[in-house]
Amino acid sequence: MNATRMKKGRRWLPLVGLLLLTAILFSYAMFQGGFVSWFLFYSFLPFGLHAFAVALYPLRRVAVSRTVPAKRYHAGEPIPVTVRMELPWAIPPAALTVSGEEPRHGGAMAAWPFRRRLSCAWPLSLPRGRHQLDIVRLEVSDALGFVNKAESFSAPCTIIVYPRYWPWPVEMVREWFAYGKAARPLAYRRDLAVAAGAREYAPGDKMSWVHWKASARRQELMTKEFDEPRNDDWVVVLDGAASPWFEELVTLAASIAKALIDEGVPVGLLVTGKARSYLAPRRSEEQWPSLLLRLAEAEANGSAPLASQLAEEGNWRTAAGCVVVTSRLSAELAAQLRAMASKRCIVLYVVNREWGEDERRWADGLRHAGVHVSHMPPQSWQTVRQGGEDG
């Protein structure tokens, strides 16, 4: 209650000071007389009346709206923001400053002519992600700055800034398919006529799956193991762990996904982390916008190791290939990728500054297992930070 009273008191202080200054000048002219004293009073009078009008102006009654052209914006792109205002009165010119809720949300200054409808625009620069803009702040003052008033208005606006991406070499994508374990059209059901191997019997296995010859050789009950069904789907995995190069990882994932889609491959997306996000592979025109939206909202907040999340993932059973984008290569991740590479094509991209002896040894082991491994130092991503291809 006291804070509200103090705020109201501060609003009236400029008006009281203005009236006091006017009274002093009038008293000086009355008692002093002469041309100079009355010249000072009449010269100040227009500015004083204008400041008095600004002080009484009902700034709260201004109708404010904010609009952004409907367009897909990418990180680093200037976003044109337009704020429209409908004033209750058309009063003489004054300084009018329009700004967002934060300094980085920009602002502009407009003249205040004799009209009620005003608009101003400025370019806004936002990082990748979903941004909810709400507050528009108006500041108005008289010509000499005697009176300054400010009000905040709710003008909600949602802006989605998509990640940037750049053309991925087509030859590199086709090399993945030519490696031997890439896409090939197979049925979505198991072929129960031909067994690929045998394993120990587990409770719940059907008796028709028992491998009698292997059971006789091993002197224990063995179950037939069939080939998992596969198709031509690919999945791009983005490591959602906290990393100083997470934006580069997002850009890389978007670039690879776009290249696969351009080749006509059904592409899905898995973003690991605290808020795990999975988009199933599809071959449709809506897949690319859906992928971009998931990448725009991706956050680096994961704490669980990527290897454990890949081991728990059940979408690999039908995927012909998988592209893993991360900034850390560990022994656990290398072991998990080797296990996955036995049945599908695995591509690994590691973006970090350091590439020690352990990482080189793990990378060599993965290459021997048939995994495509590439190390991309951050120095090669300067062009990505400065700009890239827009979709």
pTM above 0.85, yes or no: no
| Separation CA 145–CA 58 (nearest Å) | 18
Contact indicator for 384, 76 with CB cutoff of 8 Å:
no
The predicted pLDDT at position 2 comes to: 52
Q: Where are the beta strands (DSSP E) in the chain?
A: 63-67, 73-74, 79-86, 95-100, 107-111, 117-124, 129-141, 148-162, 197-200, 222-225, 234-238, 267-271, 277-282, 321-326, 345-351, 372-376
Domains by residue range for the chain, with CATH: 10-54 (no CATH), 57-160 (2.60.40.150), 168-182+229-384 (3.40.50.410), 189-224 (no CATH)
DSSP H/E element including 336: helix 331-340
Nearest to 73 by CA among 151, 23, 126: 126
The predicted pLDDT at position 318 comes to: 74
Cβ count within 10 A of residue 255: 22
350, amino acid identity: V
Cα angle for residues 337, 339, 342 (degrees, 5° grid):
105
Average pLDDT, 10 consecutive residues per value, the chain (391 residues) = 51 69 75 76 79 82 89 88 86 73 65 75 88 87 79 90 87 68 39 60 71 79 65 88 90 93 90 86 88 92 83 75 92 91 88 87 92 84 45 42
